[in-house]
Amino acid sequence: MNQAQALYQLQKLDQDISQRKSRLAEIEVLLGEDTRVQAAGQTVAQAEKALAPWRTQASDLDLEIKSVTAKAEAVEQRLYSGAVSNPKELQDMQEEIASLKRRRARLEDDLLEAMIAVEDGQQALAEAHATLEQATAQWERDQHDLLAEQTGHQSQLLALREQRAALKSEITPASLETYKRLFRGKQGQVVAPLQDTNCQFCGVSQTSKTVQEARQARELVYCENCGRILVIL
Protein backbone atom coordinates (compact mmCIF):
# COMPACT_ATOMS: atom_id res chain seq x y z
CA MET A 1 0.00 0.00 0.00
CA ASN A 2 1.54 3.30 -1.11
CA GLN A 3 0.87 6.61 0.69
CA ALA A 4 -1.97 7.66 -1.65
CA GLN A 5 -3.66 4.31 -1.18
CA ALA A 6 -3.23 4.48 2.58
CA LEU A 7 -4.71 7.99 2.59
CA TYR A 8 -7.61 6.75 0.46
CA GLN A 9 -8.32 4.04 3.04
CA LEU A 10 -8.05 6.66 5.77
CA GLN A 11 -10.57 8.83 3.92
CA LYS A 12 -12.98 5.90 3.63
CA LEU A 13 -12.69 5.25 7.37
CA ASP A 14 -13.15 8.94 8.14
CA GLN A 15 -16.24 9.14 5.93
CA ASP A 16 -17.71 6.07 7.60
CA ILE A 17 -16.92 7.46 11.05
CA SER A 18 -18.39 10.84 10.19
CA GLN A 19 -21.61 9.35 8.76
CA ARG A 20 -22.10 7.18 11.83
CA LYS A 21 -21.42 10.13 14.13
CA SER A 22 -23.98 12.33 12.43
CA ARG A 23 -26.53 9.49 12.48
CA LEU A 24 -25.83 9.05 16.21
CA ALA A 25 -26.52 12.76 16.70
CA GLU A 26 -29.83 12.35 14.83
CA ILE A 27 -30.71 9.33 16.97
CA GLU A 28 -29.93 11.35 20.09
CA VAL A 29 -32.57 13.87 19.02
CA LEU A 30 -35.09 11.21 17.97
CA LEU A 31 -34.76 9.27 21.23
CA GLY A 32 -37.37 10.52 23.63
CA GLU A 33 -39.04 12.65 20.94
CA ASP A 34 -42.76 11.82 20.91
CA THR A 35 -44.37 14.53 18.75
CA ARG A 36 -46.99 12.14 17.31
CA VAL A 37 -47.88 10.71 20.72
CA GLN A 38 -48.22 14.21 22.13
CA ALA A 39 -50.42 15.33 19.23
CA ALA A 40 -52.61 12.23 19.64
CA GLY A 41 -52.86 12.91 23.38
CA GLN A 42 -53.99 16.45 22.65
CA THR A 43 -56.67 15.16 20.28
CA VAL A 44 -57.96 12.89 23.07
CA ALA A 45 -58.05 15.81 25.50
CA GLN A 46 -59.88 17.97 22.95
CA ALA A 47 -62.42 15.21 22.26
CA GLU A 48 -63.03 14.83 26.00
CA LYS A 49 -63.43 18.58 26.38
CA ALA A 50 -65.90 18.73 23.48
CA LEU A 51 -67.93 15.80 24.82
CA ALA A 52 -68.24 16.90 28.48
CA PRO A 53 -70.74 19.80 28.02
CA TRP A 54 -73.04 17.63 25.87
CA ARG A 55 -73.06 14.93 28.56
CA THR A 56 -73.92 17.52 31.20
CA GLN A 57 -76.61 19.00 29.01
CA ALA A 58 -78.15 15.59 28.28
CA SER A 59 -78.25 14.71 31.95
CA ASP A 60 -79.67 18.15 32.90
CA LEU A 61 -82.38 17.82 30.23
CA ASP A 62 -83.21 14.32 31.44
CA LEU A 63 -83.70 15.60 34.99
CA GLU A 64 -85.78 18.52 33.78
CA ILE A 65 -88.03 16.23 31.69
CA LYS A 66 -88.58 14.00 34.74
CA SER A 67 -89.48 17.02 36.84
CA VAL A 68 -91.89 18.44 34.22
CA THR A 69 -93.48 15.01 33.78
CA ALA A 70 -93.96 14.60 37.53
CA LYS A 71 -95.45 18.08 37.75
CA ALA A 72 -97.91 17.36 34.90
CA GLU A 73 -98.88 14.05 36.50
CA ALA A 74 -99.52 15.71 39.86
CA VAL A 75 -101.79 18.30 38.24
CA GLU A 76 -103.59 15.55 36.25
CA GLN A 77 -104.17 13.52 39.40
CA ARG A 78 -105.66 16.54 41.09
CA LEU A 79 -107.73 17.32 38.03
CA TYR A 80 -109.29 13.84 37.88
CA SER A 81 -109.52 13.36 41.63
CA GLY A 82 -112.78 15.26 41.82
CA ALA A 83 -111.43 17.42 44.62
CA VAL A 84 -111.69 20.53 42.46
CA SER A 85 -115.06 21.59 41.14
CA ASN A 86 -114.52 25.26 40.34
CA PRO A 87 -114.72 25.46 36.50
CA LYS A 88 -112.19 28.32 36.33
CA GLU A 89 -109.72 26.35 38.42
CA LEU A 90 -110.32 23.21 36.36
CA GLN A 91 -109.65 25.13 33.16
CA ASP A 92 -106.45 26.61 34.61
CA MET A 93 -105.29 23.11 35.52
CA GLN A 94 -105.98 21.81 32.00
CA GLU A 95 -104.07 24.72 30.55
CA GLU A 96 -101.16 24.09 32.90
CA ILE A 97 -101.07 20.41 31.90
CA ALA A 98 -101.06 21.37 28.21
CA SER A 99 -98.32 23.92 28.81
CA LEU A 100 -96.21 21.39 30.74
CA LYS A 101 -96.61 18.85 27.93
CA ARG A 102 -95.55 21.39 25.31
CA ARG A 103 -92.53 22.20 27.42
CA ARG A 104 -91.71 18.52 27.77
CA ALA A 105 -91.91 18.05 23.99
CA ARG A 106 -89.42 20.89 23.48
CA LEU A 107 -87.13 19.44 26.14
CA GLU A 108 -87.31 16.02 24.48
CA ASP A 109 -86.29 17.56 21.16
CA ASP A 110 -83.34 19.20 22.90
CA LEU A 111 -82.46 15.94 24.64
CA LEU A 112 -82.48 14.05 21.35
CA GLU A 113 -80.12 16.62 19.86
CA ALA A 114 -77.84 16.40 22.93
CA MET A 115 -77.85 12.60 22.80
CA ILE A 116 -76.83 12.63 19.13
CA ALA A 117 -74.01 15.04 20.01
CA VAL A 118 -72.94 12.75 22.89
CA GLU A 119 -72.89 9.77 20.54
CA ASP A 120 -70.83 11.66 17.95
CA GLY A 121 -68.52 12.90 20.69
CA GLN A 122 -68.07 9.39 22.08
CA GLN A 123 -67.19 8.09 18.64
CA ALA A 124 -64.65 10.88 18.12
CA LEU A 125 -63.18 10.13 21.54
CA ALA A 126 -62.92 6.40 20.79
CA GLU A 127 -61.17 7.18 17.51
CA ALA A 128 -58.79 9.57 19.28
CA HIS A 129 -57.99 6.88 21.86
CA ALA A 130 -57.31 4.35 19.11
CA THR A 131 -54.98 6.78 17.34
CA LEU A 132 -53.19 7.48 20.62
CA GLU A 133 -52.73 3.77 21.28
CA GLN A 134 -51.40 3.25 17.77
CA ALA A 135 -49.02 6.20 18.05
CA THR A 136 -47.77 4.97 21.42
CA ALA A 137 -47.16 1.45 20.14
CA GLN A 138 -45.36 2.82 17.06
CA TRP A 139 -43.30 5.11 19.27
CA GLU A 140 -42.24 2.17 21.45
CA ARG A 141 -41.21 0.19 18.37
CA ASP A 142 -39.29 3.16 16.98
CA GLN A 143 -37.51 3.76 20.27
CA HIS A 144 -36.53 0.11 20.43
CA ASP A 145 -35.19 0.21 16.85
CA LEU A 146 -33.32 3.46 17.49
CA LEU A 147 -31.66 2.05 20.59
CA ALA A 148 -30.58 -1.04 18.64
CA GLU A 149 -29.28 1.15 15.81
CA GLN A 150 -27.43 3.34 18.30
CA THR A 151 -25.69 0.35 19.87
CA GLY A 152 -24.71 -0.88 16.40
CA HIS A 153 -23.14 2.42 15.39
CA GLN A 154 -21.38 2.78 18.70
CA SER A 155 -19.67 -0.59 18.45
CA GLN A 156 -18.87 0.00 14.76
CA LEU A 157 -17.28 3.30 15.71
CA LEU A 158 -15.02 1.58 18.21
CA ALA A 159 -13.92 -0.88 15.53
CA LEU A 160 -13.43 1.87 12.94
CA ARG A 161 -11.31 3.91 15.32
CA GLU A 162 -9.11 0.88 15.97
CA GLN A 163 -8.73 0.34 12.23
CA ARG A 164 -7.90 4.01 11.83
CA ALA A 165 -5.22 3.87 14.51
CA ALA A 166 -3.67 0.79 12.85
CA LEU A 167 -3.79 2.42 9.43
CA LYS A 168 -2.09 5.58 10.71
CA SER A 169 1.06 3.58 11.44
CA GLU A 170 1.39 3.12 7.65
CA ILE A 171 1.09 6.81 6.89
CA THR A 172 4.07 9.16 7.12
CA PRO A 173 3.67 12.32 9.23
CA ALA A 174 4.10 14.43 6.08
CA SER A 175 1.29 12.59 4.22
CA LEU A 176 -0.97 12.83 7.23
CA GLU A 177 -0.25 16.54 7.49
CA THR A 178 -1.21 17.03 3.82
CA TYR A 179 -4.38 15.01 4.31
CA LYS A 180 -5.38 17.10 7.33
CA ARG A 181 -4.55 20.35 5.58
CA LEU A 182 -6.73 19.49 2.54
CA PHE A 183 -9.52 17.88 4.59
CA ARG A 184 -11.54 20.98 5.45
CA GLY A 185 -11.20 22.75 2.11
CA LYS A 186 -12.18 19.61 0.21
CA GLN A 187 -15.07 18.72 2.54
CA GLY A 188 -13.43 15.44 3.51
CA GLN A 189 -12.95 14.42 -0.17
CA VAL A 190 -9.16 14.65 -0.18
CA VAL A 191 -8.18 11.63 -2.24
CA ALA A 192 -9.66 10.88 -5.66
CA PRO A 193 -9.11 7.66 -7.62
CA LEU A 194 -7.68 8.02 -11.08
CA GLN A 195 -9.93 6.32 -13.60
CA ASP A 196 -8.02 5.80 -16.86
CA THR A 197 -6.61 9.32 -17.10
CA ASN A 198 -9.45 11.15 -15.35
CA CYS A 199 -9.77 12.36 -11.79
CA GLN A 200 -12.81 10.50 -10.56
CA PHE A 201 -13.89 13.41 -8.42
CA CYS A 202 -13.91 16.26 -10.96
CA GLY A 203 -13.73 14.18 -14.12
CA VAL A 204 -10.91 16.21 -15.64
CA SER A 205 -8.35 14.33 -17.75
CA GLN A 206 -4.76 14.47 -16.46
CA THR A 207 -1.58 14.85 -18.51
CA SER A 208 0.42 11.69 -19.16
CA LYS A 209 3.16 13.04 -16.87
CA THR A 210 0.72 13.25 -13.94
CA VAL A 211 -0.70 9.80 -14.74
CA GLN A 212 2.82 8.42 -14.89
CA GLU A 213 3.74 9.97 -11.54
CA ALA A 214 0.54 8.69 -9.96
CA ARG A 215 1.42 5.20 -11.17
CA GLN A 216 4.89 5.40 -9.71
CA ALA A 217 3.47 6.83 -6.47
CA ARG A 218 6.88 7.90 -5.21
CA GLU A 219 5.28 10.96 -3.75
CA LEU A 220 1.77 12.40 -3.54
CA VAL A 221 0.40 13.53 -6.92
CA TYR A 222 -2.43 16.03 -7.22
CA CYS A 223 -5.28 16.46 -9.70
CA GLU A 224 -4.37 19.26 -12.09
CA ASN A 225 -7.88 20.65 -11.81
CA CYS A 226 -9.29 20.15 -8.30
CA GLY A 227 -6.05 19.66 -6.39
CA ARG A 228 -7.05 16.36 -4.80
CA ILE A 229 -4.52 13.60 -4.18
CA LEU A 230 -4.75 11.10 -7.02
CA VAL A 231 -4.68 7.40 -6.24
CA ILE A 232 -4.53 4.34 -8.44
CA LEU A 233 -6.48 1.54 -6.79
Where along the sequence are the contacts to Zn ion (CB under 5 A)? 199, 201-202, 223, 225-226
CB of 198 to Zn ion, least distance (A): 8
| Residue with smaller CB distance to Zn ion, 97 or 190 | 190
Q: DSSP label at 201?
A: T
Query: Under DSSP, is residue 57 helix (H, G, I), strand (E, B) or coil?
Result: helix
CB of 186 to Zn ion, least distance (A): 10
- Distance, in Å, from the CA atom of 181 to the CA atom of 191, rounded to the nearest integer, reads 12
- Distance, in Å, from the CA atom of 58 to the CA atom of 20, rounded to the nearest integer, reads 59
Listed in order, strand segments (DSSP E) in the chain are 191-195, 198-199, 229-231
CB of 233 to Zn ion, least distance (A): 15
Using an 8 Å Cβ cutoff, are 4 and 178 in contact?
no
| Residue with smaller CB distance to Zn ion, 179 or 201 | 201
Q: Which residues, in sequence order, are bridge partners of residue 199?
A: 194
Phi/psi for 69 (5° steps) reads -60, -45
CB of 200 to Zn ion, least distance (A): 8
| Residue with smaller CB distance to Zn ion, 202 or 217 | 202
